[in-house]
Amino acid sequence: MQLKRPESVLVVIRDEHNQVLIMQREDDANFWQSVTGTIEEGEIPLNAAYRELAEETGIALPKSTHPIVDCRLVSQYEIRPAWLYRYPKGSQFNNEYVFSVKVPIGLPIVLTEHTDFEWTSKQEAMQKVWSRSNRDAIALFVPD
């Protein structure tokens, strides 16, 4: 298994009515989240955001009409103890670059790493997502 870099992206997805897409992780039924993923070696965070969005949801919209917005926020969080084996020895914290994107209503979602998804209100999404950094990103970057 290739170890993950302790740098990742978080992409908050909302539709034209500010409904937020959240997904249920395959490995933890209580863990709901936005799109997340490790930044690969030599990859810039924005490119990782586009790649992860397409990989996890099947959403691959033209950048010219539906740009992913760099929220200019980097959250740091402690890596869950159960996941430390995925990272280089001595890793304790992950730096997460936050992005957001507005997509058309009714896009088909193709899950590859999750078991379920929901379009919810901002408040419902904030209550359901597992991580504080995900909750904070939704609070800051999804309009009321």
How far is 102 from 117, CA to CA, in rounded Å? 17
* Continuous segment of H or E residues that includes residue 135: helix 132-141
Residue 119: predicted pLDDT:
98
Does 100 carry a binding-site annotation? no
Contact between 78 and 93 under an 8 Å Cβ cutoff? The reply is yes
Side-chain-side CA neighbours of residue 19 (13 Å): 13
Q: What is the pLDDT of residues 53-107, one digit of tens each?
A: 999 999 998 888 889 999 999 999 999 999 999 999 999 999 999 999 999 999 9
Q: What is the pLDDT of residues 101-141, one digit of tens each?
A: 999 999 999 999 999 999 999 999 999 999 999 999 999 99
Does 131 carry a binding-site annotation? yes
* Mode of pairing for the β-strands spanning 7-15 and 93-103: parallel
What are the structural domains of the chain?
7-141 (3.90.79.10)
Does 113 carry a binding-site annotation? yes
pTM metric for this prediction: 0.95
Strand partners for 77: 94
Q: What is the pLDDT of residues 8-60, one digit of tens each?
A: 999 999 999 999 999 999 988 899 999 999 999 999 999 999 999 999 999 99
Contact between 4 and 86 under an 8 Å Cβ cutoff? The reply is yes
